[in-house]
Amino acid sequence: MHTQPPRTSTEQLLLSTAVDNALKGVELPEVEGETVFLDTGTLEAYDLGYVTGSIRALLSENGALLQSDRESAEMVVEARSGGLGIDVSGTLVGIPAIPLPKADGKGIPEVALYASNRQDSLSKLALVGYYHDGSNAFSTEPLVGKAHVHQYKLLFLIRLNFTDIPEHG
């Protein structure tokens, strides 16, 4: 029996790399030495666990003392997502693959003079930190990250792959 996960590894890597790129190099000196609770109640995103874990890692790397509950923290950091997704486009100059009935998914393969498959991922996140009295500690500008996988076929044989996902190599 053959099963497939809901998303391909490439889709998962595109999303997680876009998140990594959005958070890369972000400095939050305001959290250093502070007890911090990360509130993700307003955060909606694909791969919510990865996004949350990445933000927790960012806070920790910037010296925050992470707390598991709001009451034991001096500062609350709220995370929000403006978008996390993948745009897909493709072009084919040639003959598309033609499945044959009753052939178990086999058929006539694609014959491409030129074909492209482009997947571009975008992540937009933002963070706001505040103290229990409601006073502002910090607010980030939108943190934007991108990732891509672009594949091209030329004259039936030549395949070119371009990506900025290290694990995809």
Over residues 28-68, the pLDDT tens digits come to: 999 999 999 999 998 988 789 999 999 999 999 999 999 99
pLDDT at 138 over 70: yes
Q: Which residue has the higher pLDDT, 107 or 48?
A: 48
What pLDDT, on a 0 to 100 scale, did the predictor assign at position 46?
Answer: 79
Written as one string, the DSSP assignment of the chain is -----SS-HHHHHHHHHHHHHHHTT---GGGTT-EEEEE-TT---TTHHHHHHHHHHHHHHTT-EE-SSGGG-SEEEEEEEEEEEEEEEEEEEEE--EE-TTSTT-EEPPEEEEEEEEEEEEEEEEEEEEETTS-EEEEPPPEEEEEEEEEEEETTTEEEEEE--TTT-
What pTM, to 2 d.p., does this model score?
0.86
